[in-house]
């Protein structure tokens, strides 16, 4: 659990593969700027920045001989933004990214997939559309972006996550859906409000996690069928308070700092007490292993 974090809009996790104790929990703040915390809950630094409507982390990208942590998001002007988290400098700087070909306003962004030398980003647009853009370093002054596909969506999405070649999307009015690259809907879940979501795998089972602040739980859905599996409650334990009103959420399966997070963790902003709660993947696993 962190110090009081304030009005957090979105969260991202940046595990450090070279220094296990150097992982960062990054919060994009409503109104603009970033706050960074370590796994002890201490605020490490604050920096200015735009007001973002989405945020996604790429913890490691090799660029010209240097491994860098990158952030991407959409801002309040509906522009795609990129950032570099400078190692050892407690600073976040704009990423030299050529967005001149991205003509359509961007409602949200998520990581579609990543491979050697490239990052594929999914951009969400109005009028029920998404587009996939590949970022590469071609040696120029700016990293290049090229559109590789367009995807028709069943509703205008506000949140998304890459899911093994598909896209899981959500919105506060449209619910959840899983679509493939051709736009075919393989699963959906209507009647739920999705302000935030996270896609991960627990004990080999893909899941979508959706905070439900009014009920104080994280709704967990099967990542393939979008059938609800369980509602995860994080209760108070000793001096650590439980989740009251979960909001922004992010999950990693990479080792993160201390031994308690050796298999990854979830970071969840609790709007009830304005703190970021850290949950081990062992606790998350209860969602798929606990008897019904």
Q: What is the pLDDT of residue 239?
A: 55
Q: What is the pLDDT of residue 1?
A: 61
Q: What is the pLDDT of residue 258?
A: 61
* 3-state SS string for 67-98: EEEEEEEEECCCCEEEEEEECCCCEEEECCEC
Instruction: For the chain, 292 residues long, give each residue's pLDDT as a single digit of tens.
Output: 667 888 999 999 998 755 556 789 999 999 999 999 988 888 999 999 999 999 999 999 988 888 899 999 999 999 999 999 987 778 999 999 999 999 999 999 999 999 999 999 999 999 999 999 999 999 899 999 999 999 999 999 999 999 999 999 999 999 999 999 999 999 999 999 999 999 999 989 999 999 999 999 999 999 999 999 999 988 776 556 788 999 999 999 888 876 578 888 999 999 999 999 998 888 888 877 755 5
Give pTM, 2 decimals: 0.93
Q: What is the pLDDT of residue 240?
A: 65
Q: What is the pLDDT of residue 157?
A: 97
Compute CA distances 193 → 59, 138, 171, 197, 212, whole Å: 29, 41, 6, 10, 8
Using an 8 Å Cβ cutoff, are 102 and 116 in contact? Answer: no
Choosing among 3.90.1010.10, 2.120.10.30, 2.40.50.140, 3.90.950.10, the CATH entry for 8-289 is 2.120.10.30
Q: What is the pLDDT of residue 264?
A: 85
Boundaries of every domain in the chain: 8-289
Q: What is the pLDDT of residue 283?
A: 85
> Cα–Cα distance between 17 and 125 in angstroms, integer?
34
> Cα–Cα distance between 96 and 250 in angstroms, integer?
25
Nearest CA among 94, 153, 97, 88 for reference residue 122:
153
Q: What is the pLDDT of residue 18?
A: 59
């Amino acid at each position: 659990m962190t110090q009081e974090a304030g009005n957090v809009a979105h969260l991202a996790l940046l595990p450090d593969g070279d220094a296990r104790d150097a992982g960062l929990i990054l919060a994009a703040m409503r109104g603009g700027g970033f706050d960074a915390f370590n796994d002890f809950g201490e605020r490490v630094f604050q920096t200015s920045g735009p007001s973002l409507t989405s945020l996604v982390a790429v913890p490691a990208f090799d660029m010209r001989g240097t491994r860098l942590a990158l952030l991407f998001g959409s801002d309040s002007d509906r522009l795609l933004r990129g950032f570099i988290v400078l190692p050892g400098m407690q600073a976040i700087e704009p990423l030299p990214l050529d967005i001149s070909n991205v003509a359509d306003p961007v409602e949200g962004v998520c990581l579609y997939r990543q491979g050697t030398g490239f990052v594929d980003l999914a951009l969400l647009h109005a009028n029920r559309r998404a587009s996939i853009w590949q970022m590469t370093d071609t040696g120029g002054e700016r990293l290049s972006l090229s559109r590789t596909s367009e995807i028709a969506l069943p509703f205008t999405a506000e949140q998304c996550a890459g899911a093994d070649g598909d896209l899981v999307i959500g919105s506060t009015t449209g619910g959840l859906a899983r679509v493939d690259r051709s736009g075919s809907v393989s699963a959906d879940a209507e009647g739920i409000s999705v302000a935030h979501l996270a896609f991960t795998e627990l004990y080999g089972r893909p899941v979508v996690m959706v905070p439900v602040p009014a009920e104080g739980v994280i709704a967990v859905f099967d990542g393939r069928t979008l059938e609800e599996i369980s509602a995860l409650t994080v209760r108070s334990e000793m001096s650590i308070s439980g989740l009251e009103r979960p909001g922004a959420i992010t999950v990693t399966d990479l080792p993160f700092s201390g031994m308690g997070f050796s298999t990854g963790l979830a970071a969840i902003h609790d709007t009830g007490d304005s703190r970021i709660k850290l949950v081990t993947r062992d606790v998350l696993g209860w969602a798929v292993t606990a008897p019904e």
